[in-house]
Amino acid sequence: MSGVIDTDSPSAEWTFPAEPGAVRSARHAVRDTLRDWGLDHGVGDVTVLLVSELVTNSLRYASGPIGVRLVRREQVDTTPSLLVEVSDPLPDPPVERTAAPDDEHGRGLQLVAGSARRWGTRRGSTGKTVWFELALAG
């Protein structure tokens, strides 16, 4: 894992190898950062859950590095929010589907769509990014 926490603005980003431990490493990095920012009690659990789901999707379908980025947005004219991005080298966007009650997979994007204020995907020069935004109190 390699990571950068920007001390001038509230953002942090990491790159994880596409290995089984990536999900656990991403969870710990995100939880520690949210704790440092004082957000672990507000949006901590849901952020960690959604990052776990998206990193798991990347790990399952892509073979290259997985990027995770957090940006704390506190503009005066809008509600404060947390932007979370998970990137991988696979250009194909994920497909949201409805999982049957006994399906073992297929709920990650349902969780994102149901928990986030907004979410989406975008293509980049080297793959795609799935992002979501959570409202922050206050």
pLDDT 10s digits, 16-62? 999 989 999 999 999 999 999 988 888 999 999 999 999 999 999 88
**Between residues 3 and 136, the one the model is more confident about:** 136
Q: Which residues partner with 128 through β-bridges?
A: 88, 123
pLDDT reported for residue 102: 73
| Sign, Cα dihedral of 47, 49, 52, 58 | negative
Distance (Å, whole) CA 43 – CA 38 = 10
For residue 71, give both structure tokens.
């940006």
Q: 122: exposed, middle or buried (C-beta count within 10 Å: 0-12, 13-18, 19+)? A: exposed
pTM for the predicted model, two decimal places: 0.87
Alpha helices (H) along the chain: 22-36, 44-61, 108-115
Q: Which of 1-5, 18-22, 112-116 has the lowest mean pLDDT?
A: 1-5
